[in-house]
Amino acid sequence: MARRYFGTDGVRGRVGEHPMTASFALQLASAAARVLAPEGGAVLIGKDTRLSGYMFESALEAGFVAAGVDVMLIGPLPTPGVAYMTRRFDCDFGVVISASHNLYDDNGIKFFDASGGKLSDELEERIESELEEPAVTRPSRDLGRATRADRMRTFYQEFCASTLPPGVDLSGLKIVIDCANGAAYKVGPRILADLGAEIVPIGCSPNGRNINDGCGSMAPDLLQLTVPGVRAHVGLALDGDGDRLVMVDHLGRIVDGDQLLYVIASALKSAGTLRGPVVGTVMSNLGLEVALRAADIEFRRAAVGDRYVLALLRETGGVLGGETSGHILCLDKTTTGDGLVSALQVLAVMNQTGRPLAELASPMRKFPQVLLNVKVAGRFDPSGVPAVREAVARIEQRMAGDGRVVLRPSGTEPVIRVMVEGRDEEATRAAATELAAVVKGVAG
């Protein structure tokens, strides 16, 4: 069954346009309740700071309560915090209202199962099939109850702090934290401050419309200026729902997800606790693969998307993986990508070694990577076109093993992503431009 509403990360879209309407949210809640808690149960609902979050929270609450499911409303909390609290409270499932790194006029609804993991494709398909039925309202005696659980977010703060090695705190570190005016704006600074760090917060004043707007992991320019400006040791930037992390060293230079993976992997290797391969994606920088190989650490690539990274980690018994964007999975600590937990692992390495982030990340030298988006009229597989295959072969022959070519249809928009990576930036850009022209020619 082809899914109409669930994408790679729940249901998402422009607020006020189908399916991101209050009426659809109520219908979705009723359908999800019939699949995930048919005999009644409990659901935890968290959200980020978007103005529309209140509307969707109320609609979901109504749909679940009408279907006989008890609702716990925890308010603004990072997506991984909702995953953790769903497990902590023994809920049947959890819901996050967020469009992650998008601006405020988008929103989304995504689900976690009782273990804090993403729903299987089968469950999402069953929920979609239930959307054909009208929303249910049980008799009064069978309705669910709704309660607020805002104050219980301290359990998540304590959990994050517990992922540090015993005896390690953040005393002596001056940290700039940018929460993207999003879901982590309360818990992020509090976790770091409680661990002894000196905190300079930015992007921690949400007004319902400024989430991810010129701040956070997608726009770390202010963080890059602030860290050296206040003479901080390090900066960290989360996205709107707190599952992505980008860091900035003391000189104001970006340290992305690939570099952070290297830092954490190297520390786990030294401690003898790294299990299985480190998993990245087809878009992970070649420099990460080269640096991990030099450290005698196996590296594997999955398709783009954290669910595919997670699947390969489970298949191989690995505990660490992630994406260049900063979505990092530390499965020895938690079940899903968590920007705050990932940041704490890096800060712990800095604390234990006494080395600055710039030095810890320096062995991983990033290869120049050029990504071009080619607009197309409709979906097609470019690798199946002879002219494209010939162009790829020609470019790979010129690179002689010192580069990579990746062609990938976007999962969210009508474009083909053309990525070329190599040691020489000028030659890499020329190759990407050449290949993009060929793709555009065959795409019409």
Asked if residues 27 and 131 have their Cβ atoms less than 8 Å apart, the reply is: yes
SS3 258: helix
Please tell me the distance from the alpha carbon of residue 97 to that of residue 53, in angstroms, as a whole number.
Answer: 6
- Domain of residue 209 covers 163-361
Query: Is residue 158 domain-resident?
Result: no
Q: Residue 162: is it exposed, middle or buried by C-beta count within 10 angstroms (0-12/13-18/19+)?
A: exposed
Active site (annotated) includes residue 100: yes
Q: Would you give per-residue pLDDT tens digits along the chain (444 residues)?
A: 567 899 878 999 999 999 999 999 999 999 999 999 999 999 999 999 999 999 999 999 999 999 999 999 999 999 999 999 999 999 999 999 999 999 999 999 999 999 999 899 999 999 999 999 999 999 999 999 999 999 999 999 999 999 999 999 999 999 999 999 999 999 999 999 999 999 999 999 999 999 999 999 999 999 999 999 999 999 999 999 999 999 999 999 999 999 999 999 999 999 999 999 999 999 899 999 999 999 999 999 999 888 899 999 999 999 999 999 999 999 999 999 999 999 999 999 999 999 999 999 999 999 999 999 998 877 778 888 899 999 999 999 998 878 899 998 876 678 899 999 998 999 999 999 999 999 998 876
Last residue of a domain, one of 361, 394, 409: 361
Indicate which residue of 30, 52, 98, 100 is catalytic.
100
CA 81, distance to chain mean position in Å, is 13
Query: Is residue 118 domain-resident?
Result: yes
Same domain, 24 and 139: yes
Same domain, 21 and 98: yes
Last residue of a domain, one of 315, 337, 361: 361
Query: Is residue 1 domain-resident?
Result: no
Last residue of a domain, one of 361, 392, 408: 361
Same domain, 73 and 207: no
Query: Is residue 281 domain-resident?
Result: yes
Query: Is residue 313 domain-resident?
Result: yes
Nearest to 10 by CA among 104, 91, 128: 128
Percentage of the chain lying above the pLDDT 90 cut: 88
Distance (Å) of CA 273 to CA 57, 148, 268, 322: 41, 39, 5, 18
Same domain, 344 and 418: no
Please tell me the distance from the alpha carbon of residue 233 to that of residue 354, in angstroms, as a whole number.
Answer: 11
What backbone torsions phi and psi does residue 435 show, to the nearest 5 degrees? -70, -40
Tally of domains in the chain: 3
- CATH assignment at residue 353: 3.40.120.10
Query: Is residue 287 domain-resident?
Result: yes
Same domain, 252 and 143: no
Query: Is residue 127 domain-resident?
Result: yes
Same domain, 209 and 333: yes
Same domain, 316 and 386: no
- CATH assignment at residue 398: 3.30.310.50
Same domain, 333 and 434: no
CA angle centred on 179, ends 206 and 191, rounded to 5°:
115
| Buried b or exposed e, range 352-366, using 16+ CB within 10 angstroms | eeeeebeebbebbeb
Helix (H) or strand (E) run with residue 389 in it: helix 386-399
Query: Is residue 100 domain-resident?
Result: yes
Q: Token match 């954290």: residue? A: 306
Asked if residues 338 and 296 have their Cβ atoms less than 8 Å apart, the reply is: no
CA angle centred on 199, ends 194 and 203, rounded to 5°:
115
